[in-house]
Every structure is written in structure tokens, then in C-alpha cells.
């Protein structure tokens, strides 16, 4: 979907994804879906809220994934 979003789970990353990496991926996703690189002032709150929710869901997904052959 968006080539600038990188895989955030092992073995693509040697260590766990950082909060900054998760937030950057969420931001790229929201930008792609909304079609806005930076939202207008009247859309800022909803844009930022979407980034927060996507980042939270991504962190939960990564924490709960079971990757075979990788030690936790």
C-alpha cells in the first residue's frame, strides 16, 4: 500500500519496534488513507486522533504476534 511503511516485526527488525517507528508507520498510513500530507487546521484533531489510534493498534498487534523461530 505505502512503500514508506516498513515491516516492524522480527526478523525485519532485529529488536522490537520503537514507539517512534510505530508512530511513523501510523502517520504514513493515515496520510495515505486521508490523501493529506498535512491536514488543514479544521481537520488536525481528527487526523491526530487517527494517528494515535492506529499507533495504539499497531503496538498491540506487534506485542501479541507470535513469530515462529523468534525468542520473546
- Taking the domains of the chain in order of start, what are their residue ranges? 37-65
C-beta separation of 41 from 18 below 8 A? no
- How far apart CA 15 and CA 29 sit, in angstroms, is 22
- How far apart CA 32 and CA 46 sit, in angstroms, is 15
pLDDT digits (tens, 9 = 90+) for 5-17: 778 887 777 788 8
pLDDT digits (tens, 9 = 90+) for 9-68: 877 777 888 999 999 999 999 999 999 999 999 999 999 999 999 999 999 999 998 877
Q: Given this model, what pLDDT does residue 44 score?
A: 97
pTM: 0.82
Report which secondary-structure segment, H or E, holds 69.
none
**Could you tell me the end-to-end alpha-carbon distance of the chain, in angstroms, rounded to an integer?**
28
Amino acid at each position: 500500500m505505502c512503500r514508506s511503511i516498513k515491516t516492524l516485526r522480527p526478523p525485519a527488525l532485529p529488536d522490537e519496534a520503537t514507539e517512534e517507528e510505530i508512530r511513523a508507520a501510523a502517520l504514513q498510513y493515515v496520510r495515505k488513507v486521508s490523501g493529506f500530507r498535512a491536514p488543514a487546521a479544521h481537520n488536525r484533531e481528527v487526523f491526530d486522533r487517527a494517528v494515535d489510534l492506529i499507533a495504539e493498534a499497531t503496538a498491540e498487534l506487534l506485542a501479541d504476534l507470535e513469530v515462529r523461530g523468534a525468542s520473546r
